[in-house]
Amino acid sequence: LVSRSIPTQILLALVSRSIPSQSLEKKRQEMIRDPEAMEEVEISMKCWGVLLAHMTGFAAINSWGTVQQLPFFRRTPGMTVCVIPLALMGNLTLQRISDAVREWVANGDGEKDELEEKWDEEVEEAENDVGGLTMSFLLSQALRF
């Protein structure tokens, strides 16, 4: 799961040009002033964000679904439901850690510009998609018990 989450963060940072670099700073400022360039970056981030969120979501479904099928949890319907809060806490923990890293990177130069804001928004949306996919699958699997 973590191995899928990290590439999402990095790829969206690259697409939004939010990775700190002195050589790209002038180009980044030009992009921020150009509405068409910002729209292109936003479309690219949405495209990659949705794709990577679904890949990460399916990995999370596989991981937590496997936990739900362990002998300890599959004994009773109530035990299968117990995996849902565990998955939620795991997902929220990863979200908080990645948010802290994004804030650290975005504020590395002392301010958070529009490209970095877009990066943060798209990654948060992708993380929410991952959580939604995971929790809905785990709930439906528990109810099917």
pLDDT tens digits, 94-112: 999 999 999 998 888 788 8
Q: How many CB atoms lie within 10 A of CB 89?
A: 10
- Residues 6 or more apart whose Cβ sits within 8 Å of residue 115: 16, 17, 18, 28, 31, 32, 38, 41
Average pLDDT, the chain: 90
pLDDT for the residue numbered 47: 93
pLDDT tens digits, 25-51: 788 888 889 999 999 999 999 999 999
**Of 102, 98, 101, 95, residue with least CA distance to 134:** 95
pLDDT for the residue numbered 29: 85
- pLDDT, mean of residues 83-92: 96
- Residues 6 or more apart whose Cβ sits within 8 Å of residue 131: 88, 91, 92, 95
